[in-house]
Amino acid sequence: MSTLAASGAAARPGSTKKASFGKAPDGQDVDLYTLTNKNGVEVAISTYGGVVVSLKVPDRNGKLGDVVLGFDSVDGYVSDKSYFGAIIGRYGNRIGHAQFVLDGKTYTLAKNNGENTLHGGNKGFNKAVWTPKEIPAKDGQALELTYQSKDGEEGFPGNLQVRVVYTLTDSNALRIDYSATTDKNTVINLTNHSYFNLAGPGSGDILGHVLTIEADKFTPVDSGLIPTGELREVAGTPFDFRKPTLIGTRINSDDEQIKLGGGYDHNFVLRRKMAAQISLAARVMEPKTGRVLEVWTTEPGIQFYTGNFLDGSVQGKGNITYTKRSAFCLETQHFPDSPNKPKFPSTELNPGQHYHTTTIYKFSTEK
């Protein structure tokens, strides 16, 4: 079994390198692609789940550090239940009561999260082997991943052709372009589920990270974490991140929504000037290393999740144990349960339409 460590020494700046990452449960070979930009910033992506396995970016002294959680070989991802770094589909986050109605027909999905469907069902896109292709990029290194999700897969209608392009730019950004087409009316909500800790591996919890979210409203949830349909003002709540605020300041507050989420596990309604235009969604700064992450997206929402379900039972890269709140996720998305919420922005995709969304994770540092 090949491991990250065994996959070789640091790659040449401005290069893409391929190594074996092991085998999927069905015997398919899984590769690990390492994209290195001209500054030596490096992202490793697995064809299993399209997972971002590692992402090494500089701190304020120029020292590279891995800022995402993950595993050393494909086996960790095969047994993973936390969606570390993966592409999520066909429908990111939850669909209430594991069903929805489209064109008068009820579609029944797997109940893989209590009564609900989470992140595409029992075998979401995070458990698929994607077809890789190195493609040219104007400003950096790019890897295309494609996957065909069959009509009826996990209960969803329509053959869906999915294409995800990861581009590591020379300005230290990881850009993700998601596209898809279908041959029947369906629903779609693609995202990436990277768990970030900007202080680097094994550095404890993320409560000291400083977060800003460009949202005036969020979508409160019920006890199954399904949105109630309300768009609630963040003003006067622990969900007000309109000004830079420590993640930890209000995470244990006596607030109904914080209690339901076990911390933050909520969709924020992004403030945006024009739909479909890429805008800043969130900014995170880590004071010890000075690392800054900005998330830009064309999506209307972002799920801020504080790793509340991580419980120390999983050992990741370098034998580090992933404990509660040792990472945060910022999953760009359409709102959870949109197929059952006619007032939320639509997640329908019909034949002849092209689904295209873009999210950019930009890295920099601050003194």
Positions marked catalytic: 193, 331
Q: Which residue is nearest to ligand GLA (CB)?
A: 305
CB of 218 to ligand GLA, least distance (A): 13
Shorter beta-carbon distance to ligand GLA: residue 266 or 272: 266
Shorter beta-carbon distance to ligand GLA: residue 305 or 355: 305
Both structure tokens of 364: 């920099």
Spell out the SS3 assignment of the chain. CCCCHHHCCCCCCCEEEEEEEEECCCCCEEEEEEEECCCCCEEEEECECCCEEEEEEECCCCCEEECECCCCCHHHHHHCCCCCCCEECCECCEEHHHEEEECCEEEECCCCECCEEECCCCCCHHHCECEEEEECCCCEEEEEEEEEECCCHHHCCCCEEEEEEEEEECCCEEEEEEEEEECCCEECECEECCCECCCCCCCCCCCCCEEEECEEEEECECCCCCECCCCEECCCCCCCCCCCEECCCCCCCCCHHHHHHCCCEEEEEECCCCCCCCEEEEEEECCCCCEEEEEEECCCEEEEECCCCCCCCCECHHHCECCCCCCEEEEEECCCCHHHCCCCCCCEECCCCCEEEEEEEEEEECC
CB of 261 to ligand GLA, least distance (A): 8
CB of 39 to ligand GLA, least distance (A): 30
Closest CA to 349 of 206, 182, 190: 182
CB of 263 to ligand GLA, least distance (A): 10
Contacting residues toward ligand GLA, per CB under 6 A: 82-83, 93, 118, 225, 265, 303, 305, 309, 329, 331
CB of 119 to ligand GLA, least distance (A): 6
Residue 187 near residue 158, CB atoms below 8 Å: no
CB of 305 to ligand GLA, least distance (A): 4
